[in-house]
Amino acid sequence: MADTIGTEVKEVKASTSNKVPAPTAPKLNVTQQRIEDARDKANWEWITVPEHDLFGQVHDGVRLNFELYGPGKHFVDPVIAEQLRTQIDGGLKAQMRIMQPQTDIRYKEIMQKMGRTPATNPNF
């Protein structure tokens, strides 16, 4: 009986010592994963820079990392696409803010009912 137990132990040790652990890929953080995804052209996106801004002027384009993305379509990786979308949206919001009235409409209505002229700053 002693011979069979010792033999079994030797067989188990021999079978486990021959196994080499399979290499595992390191777990990527969010930024590393986005960079990895950007290398695959299947993930790239088409981004459109508008031809004209909200004032009817020719759009200057968007500058990013010393590159100019002029009006038209551009095929870029997802990281650049997100940054371009953010800059284009920010520019449009800034132009909308300029086009909106500076005085509250409800304030003007109240002052008109009271028969007074709304206070304005002559410097603007």
pLDDT of the chain along its 124 residues, tens only?
555 665 665 665 555 556 666 777 778 788 888 888 888 888 899 999 999 998 889 999 999 989 999 999 999 988 899 999 999 999 988 888 887 767 778 888 888 899 888 776 666 5
Q: In this structure, how many other beta carbons lie within 10 angstroms of the beta carbon of residue 34?
A: 15
How long is the chain?
Answer: 124
Alpha-carbon distances of 35 from 39, 57, 76, 84, 99, rounded to whole Å: 7, 35, 13, 16, 38
Torsion sign, CA atoms 57, 62, 68, 70: negative
pLDDT of 43 reads: 86
Instruction: Decide: residue 65, CB within 10 A, 0-12 exposed, 13-18 middle, 19+ buried.
Output: exposed
pLDDT value of residue 12 = 56
For the full predicted model, state whether its pTM sits above 0.75. no
